[in-house]
């Protein structure tokens, strides 16, 4: 029997058969299939792995020489060959000792001399190519290595002294300077020589340093070539 809101015992379960008051429907129990479906959904949610954060893009590879971001096989700034087929520049990690011994080897370049003569100039006719010019090696060390010809009047004694013999008349007393870098590499600067300086056939701008390394050829004067080499310690 059902009990109506007025307390009457009713034989009917929709309206009280004594006072006619509508009886509240009995609460329905959730069906067993619905309960199983809810439990299964909860288990599936718990079993799913938590979403992983999106992978962060990797930074672009940097040039080991000048740290410029890589954009191809060759560095756009210093020309480093990433494939390793070219002659690599020696680079030491900051704070470590330089393990290589750098040297500058001077000689006479006939091809460069003929180019200088062909371009003419007020002193071209007086410049003769030396019949013999031995190679000379100069070790590179310290913060700077000056290139030129010594002068007593100026109290100038360059570390790479090209006074001769034979003497290249186109070389200034202070023609160029090699600047040692903290990472063990070298920069070359022309402070304003009379006839200019070239690196691998490209003329330097006055007071604009450029990086040089193993295999680079520095031309100056009428026929002088200086080759940068990396030897064993």
Number of structural domains, the chain? 2
pLDDT at residue number 55: 60
Same domain, 151 and 183: yes
| Pair 161, 172: CB distance under 8 Å | no
Residue predicted with more confidence, 117 or 232: 117
pLDDT at residue number 25: 63
Q: Which of 88, 109, 140 is at the close of a domain?
A: 88
Same domain, 68 and 113: no
Structural domain span for residue 76: 58-88
Same domain, 156 and 131: yes
Same domain, 111 and 80: no
**pTM of the entire predicted model:** 0.57
Assigned domain for 20 exists: no
- Domain of 150, CATH number, reads 2.60.200.20
* Helix/strand/coil for 65: coil
Same domain, 215 and 170: yes
Of 97, 127, 85, whose CA–CA distance to 110 is shortest? 127
The chain-wide mean pLDDT, for the chain, equals 78
Phi then psi for residue 69, to 5 deg, are: -55, 140
- List, in sequence order, the alpha helices (H) in the chain: 32-47, 110-119
pLDDT in tens, 25-61: 655 544 455 556 656 665 665 556 566 666 665 666 7
pLDDT in tens, 69-108: 776 665 555 455 556 543 333 333 333 234 458 999 999 9
Same domain, 111 and 164: yes
pLDDT at residue number 42: 56
Assigned domain for 162 exists: yes
pLDDT in tens, 155-177: 899 999 999 889 998 999 999 99
């Amino acid at each position: 029997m059902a009990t109506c809101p007025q307390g009457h015992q009713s034989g009917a379960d929709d309206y009280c058969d004594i006072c006619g008051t509508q009886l509240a429907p009995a609460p329905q129990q959730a069906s067993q299939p619905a309960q199983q479906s809810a439990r299964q959904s909860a288990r599936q949610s718990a079993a799913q792995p938590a979403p992983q954060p999106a992978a962060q893009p990797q930074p672009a590879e940097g040039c080991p020489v000048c740290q410029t971001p890589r954009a191809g096989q060759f560095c756009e700034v210093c020309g480093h060959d990433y494939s390793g087929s070219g002659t690599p520049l020696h680079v030491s990690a900051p704070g470590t000792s330089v393990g290589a011994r750098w040297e500058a080897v001077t000689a006479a370049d006939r091809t460069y001399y003929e180019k200088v003569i062909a371009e003419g100039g007020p002193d071209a006719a007086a410049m003769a190519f030396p019949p013999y010019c031995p190679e000379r090696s100069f070790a590179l060390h310290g913060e700077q290595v000056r290139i030129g010809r010594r002068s007593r009047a100026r109290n100038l004694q360059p570390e790479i002294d090209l006074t001769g013999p034979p003497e290249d008349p186109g070389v200034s007393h202070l023609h160029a300077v090699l600047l040692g870098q903290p990472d063990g590499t070298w920069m070359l600067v022309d402070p304003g020589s009379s006839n200019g300086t070239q690196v691998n056939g490209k003329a330097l701008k006055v007071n604009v340093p450029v990086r040089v390394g193993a295999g680079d050829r520095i031309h100056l004067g009428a026929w002088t070539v200086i080759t940068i080499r990396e030897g064993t310690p």
